Chain A
Amino acid sequence: MLKIENLHITVDETEILKGLSLEVPAGEVHAIMGPNGSGKSTLSYAITGREDYEVTHGDITLDGESLLEMDPNERAAKGLFLSFQHPLEIPGVATMNFIRTALNAQRKARGENEVTAADFLRAIREKAKIVGLSDEKLKRPFNVGFSGGEKKRMEMLQMAMLEPRFGILDETDSGLDIDALKMVGEVVNEMRDGSRGFLVITHYQRLLDYVKPDRVHVLAGGRIVESGGPEIARELEEHGYDKYIQSAA
């Protein structure tokens, strides 16, 4: 489903990803673990098309279609979703209006009908309950005055509403307590089916107790240096990244 081949990414004239290859088949959850500065967030931005992340070599395809020439919103309409590591506050932008505009923009781009206001309201109320955000929070300007945990809940709410075909969770677990981790697990597991894929980027093993990965990859020095089953995550938790940092250098 998502295939990354020999990806080289340069940011501000510094090469961050140096030949990264990765394939996540439909229906699977893959985890990417790695030390700070290994290029984890760069990978998530490169997949979703952030400006200034220059692809110098390689390709990223979703179901065989290259994403590289697509704008971020075109990639979103193809079904890519990124749960941001540091979600933004957007003062003055009404939360419900924003999510509904996003949903309908994607649907329009795919040639689907827009969602009615009533259907949207019903869906968002139901899903807000699952992620643990109150009505009052939905009425605020987007993320304004939210705690770090609430912002991550808002990311999960958007993922649940937008129903992407491929979700990237960039350190969604950072700053979350156990209840919130469970909630993330609930949202992802609810969405898991034979056709959807997920890439879970994390520094720690603990989120993987709730979102069970099919494969775990270790990212160090801009490349995948090891791939295997969930046992790799446990090993990392025990021994840390030292081994990989040395081998990458």
Chain B
Amino acid sequence: MRPNHQFTEFEKALIASMPAEGSEVGTILSDTGLPSRRDERWKWTDVRAALREEKQPSVQSVSSRAPLLALDQPIEFLFANGHLSQAPASLPDGVTLSRGGGYPLFRENLPNIATEKAEATYVLTVSGKLDRPIHLRFLSEGSGMHHTSVQVVLEEGAEASVVESLEGGEDAWFANGVMRFTLAKGASLERLILQQANDDAVQVHFAMANLAAEANFTQGTLGFGSKLCRLETQVLHEGEGARAVLNGAYLLSGRRHLDNTTDVGHTVPGCVTEELYKGVLADKGRGVFQGRFYVAKDAQQTDARMAHNALLLSDEAEVDAKPELMIYADDVQCAHGNTAGALDTEALFYMRQRGLTEAQARAMLVQAFVAEAFEHISDDDVKARLTALIETWLDQQTDGGTR
């Protein structure tokens, strides 16, 4: 047990709920507790502090709600407080659903806990080209806690798109999810994560993607934060010529917190990573961006670029960013850039001189700022719906008088 570690009621109950014997995850948890500001990788996102009181397992049902993102003919799986409550009666050719297990541990506690505590690890295997999106709807409600674990396997040359929407009703629920993506040679996955929750909820959504040679992993994120939310993606380039795009935008108001953490490992030659995050912070919103590129000695001709740009609409908003490059190969192209600034007052005046109200001008500039993070999305309808969600957020800022 960590010296002087005072376990919270939450931690004590969670530890007690782990199997008494043979649970390595439980043993580690009772040794280290939940991640907190004392852990370098969690210094800005203190899960332990956000979850002090004991939580019961959530009831396995939620009230129905319209999807945050309406998709065209989705293959929809609904997780109600962690429980797979709806799945298509029949799956299209090339898609199978099974249960997996026996995964090696992550170095992080929470995804391991999610794997162990989830009702199952559901494994979706895709072969061939799937022309309908897979929609994983993670719905949360009440004041309990729940866990999910899903693996998506793309066989050689397979193509698919997966949308994960993390949504929920009121109350102080805690949702902890783990995703595993396994892309075989030449497989191509377009992933979109959409997150929206209330001021009391705590969410941690972790993903690990393993890419074989020539695989393409493209990720977009749109998040609006919660009391505390962390969206973490780790990517491992394991085959030559793999390509990863990690893009995202976040818009935070009130006291919402969103942490986008990414960690990309390049272990073989000739892989490409492009990363662009855009953040918009109003009120006392708090954004965290941590991006790490690791380039091993043998990973020559790696091309990895990372950028994070934040727009602060309020003096009380806060953004913490930590780009990190660890490069051990000598023939690589790696770059990172990080900026934080306010809206361009000259552009605002120009637009208002043309007749736009201040709110209209601000909204147009914010949309323009964020749009770059979604340029990679191939489906124009999806792009338009994301834009509409951003518009709604912008309207709320104006109505709420946050200016």
Say whether B368 contacts A76, CB under 8 Å: no
- Is residue B356 contacting chain A, with contact meaning CB distance below 8 A? yes
Q: Which residues from chain A contact B354 at a C-beta distance below 8 Å?
A: 76, 98-99, 102, 158, 162
> DSSP class of B's interface residues: helix, strand, loop or mixed?
helix
Say whether A73 contacts B357, CB under 8 Å: yes
Nearest chain B CB to A114 CB, angstrom units = 12
- Is residue A176 contacting chain B, with contact meaning CB distance below 8 A? no
Say whether B349 contacts A76, CB under 8 Å: no
Say whether A162 contacts B353, CB under 8 Å: no
Say whether A51 contacts B355, CB under 8 Å: no
Q: Which residues from chain B contact A105 at a C-beta distance below 8 Å?
A: 355-357, 360
Given the interface contacts A92-B367, A92-B372, A98-B364, does A103 sit within 8 Å of B358 by beta carbon? no
Say whether B352 contacts A73, CB under 8 Å: yes
- Is residue B379 contacting chain A, with contact meaning CB distance below 8 A? no
- Is residue B380 contacting chain A, with contact meaning CB distance below 8 A? no
Q: Type the 1/0 row for B340-364, where 1 means its CB is closer than 8 Å to any CB of A.
A: 0000011101111111111010001
8 Å CB interface, A51-110 against B: 51, 71-73, 75-77, 80-82, 84, 87-88, 90-93, 98-99, 101-103, 105-106, 109
Say whether B364 contacts A76, CB under 8 Å: no
Taking CB as reference atom, which chain B residue is nearest A45? B349
Say whether A73 contacts B369, CB under 8 Å: no
Nearest chain A CB to B319 CB, angstrom units = 20
Most chain-B Cβ atoms within 10 A of its Cβ — which of A76, A87, A99?
A: A76
Q: Which residues from chain B contact A71 at a C-beta distance below 8 Å?
A: 352, 358
Given the interface contacts A88-B346, A101-B360, does A93 sit within 8 Å of B352 by beta carbon? no
For A102, give its contact among B346, B356, B358, B369 (CB under 8 Å): B356
- Is residue B50 contacting chain A, with contact meaning CB distance below 8 A? no
Q: Which residues from chain A contact B371 at a C-beta distance below 8 Å?
A: 92
Size of the B side of the interface (Cβ < 8 Å), in residues, is 21
Taking CB as reference atom, which chain A residue is nearest B370? A92
Say whether B368 contacts A91, CB under 8 Å: yes
Q: Which residues from chain B contact A109 at a C-beta distance below 8 Å?
A: 355
8 Å CB interface, A86-143 against B: 87-88, 90-93, 98-99, 101-103, 105-106, 109, 141
Q: Which residues from chain A contact B352 at a C-beta distance below 8 Å?
A: 71-73, 76
- Is residue B365 contacting chain A, with contact meaning CB distance below 8 A? yes
Taking CB as reference atom, which chain A residue is nearest B368? A92
A44–B151 Cα gap in the complex (Å)? Answer: 62
For B355, give its contact among A50, A73, A90, A92 (CB under 8 Å): A73
Most chain-A Cβ atoms within 10 A of its Cβ — which of B349, B353, B356, B357?
A: B353
A162–B355 Cα gap in the complex (Å)? Answer: 9
- Is residue A48 contacting chain B, with contact meaning CB distance below 8 A? yes
Q: Which residues of A contact B (CB under 8 A)?
A: 48-51, 71-73, 75-77, 80-82, 84, 87-88, 90-93, 98-99, 101-103, 105-106, 109, 141, 158, 162
What are the 10 A-B residue pairs with the smallest beta carbon separation, nearest first? A92-B368, A106-B355, A102-B354, A72-B352, A76-B355, A102-B355, A105-B355, A73-B352, A93-B368, A92-B371
A-B contact pairs, 24 of them (CB 8 A): A50-B349, A51-B345, A71-B358, A73-B356, A76-B353, A76-B354, A76-B355, A81-B353, A84-B350, A88-B347, A88-B350, A90-B350, A92-B367, A92-B369, A92-B371, A92-B372, A93-B364, A93-B365, A93-B368, A103-B355, A105-B355, A105-B356, A162-B354, A162-B355
Besides the known contacts A76-B353, A90-B368, 8 further A-B residue pairs in the complex with CB atoms under 8 A apart: A76-B355, A82-B353, A84-B350, A102-B355, A103-B355, A109-B355, A141-B368, A162-B354
